[in-house]
Amino acid sequence: MKFKTTPYHSDLLKDSDRLAVFYEAIKEYSSNNQLAYDLGCGSGVLSYFLSDYFEEIISLEINKKTYECAKENLKDFNKIKVINTDVLNYEFRKKADLIVCEMLDTALIDEEEIPALNRAKEFLKPDGEIIPKGVINAVELVNFERHYLHWDEGARHEIMSDQIIYDEINFKDEINPEFKTVLKLKATKEGLLNGLKITTFTKLTDNIIAGPLPMLNPSLLIPLNERQVKVNDFIQVELKYIMGNGIESIETKYL
């Protein structure tokens, strides 16, 4: 099926690995499910996947131009209703068996759908599920050449510690967007430390976990003040950010 898209959603569709993991996650559901909500449906490709397994799909998209694409793409699917609305303003009338809310940002820092998910899951059946189920956030010490905040797009960087998990988020729980933690990492190399690397793994189902993909949570490189370290040095860093407020909300300091 050929999809009409915006340029951004065209890039999403080109990430075949991303599409594959979401398809496999949706496929885990039997054919007897009644209702699924697709929050921020974009081009409608995930709603298209859902149509094989659900009797009714309600697809919500706030952006008018993107909504028009999804509506055109899904016009022949009577079981899919595409609505141009903000999830926060939508009047939910039915409890869903499944909510699909594709989270596309590392550690949810730049993710606008957190308030939408927090509201929509009030309308999830007690035994209902969410795709993805959650995220696992990991961090490691690094030295990188572009000493400013940026996404990892293949620029040279050297890993200087083991990777540790610092946060796990279950999307069925209420998500508090204001995050703060103290990281304790042990240097595994001697040299110049100047940053952190955050990597998010997406837990789509109990059986499917996806690492960073080109259009699904690329790793984030965060600068620190330069510091010479030796092997086995312990480095403590306070990390703060507000999920949904963008990477400008990130704050770090050595302790």
Given 3-state DSSP classes, what are the helix, strand and coil percentages for the chain, each rounded to the nearest 5? Answer: 20, 40, 35
pLDDT averaged over 10-residue windows placed end to end, the chain, 255 residues: 77 82 90 88 95 95 95 96 96 95 87 88 94 96 92 86 97 93 98 97 94 82 97 98 94 97
Write the single-letter amino acid at 112: E
d(CA 50, CA 209) in angstroms, rounded, equals 19
Give the pLDDT score at 32: 67
Residue 177: strand, helix, or coil: coil
Give the domain ranges of the chain.
Answer: 7-100, 134-254
CATH class of 7-100: alpha beta
Q: Is the pTM of this model over 0.85?
A: yes
Give the pLDDT score at 168: 97
CATH number of 134-254: 2.70.160.11
- 88-123 b/e (C-beta count within 10 Å ≥ 16 → b): eebeeeeebbbbbbbbbbbbbbbbbbbbbbbebbeb
Give the pLDDT score at 4: 83
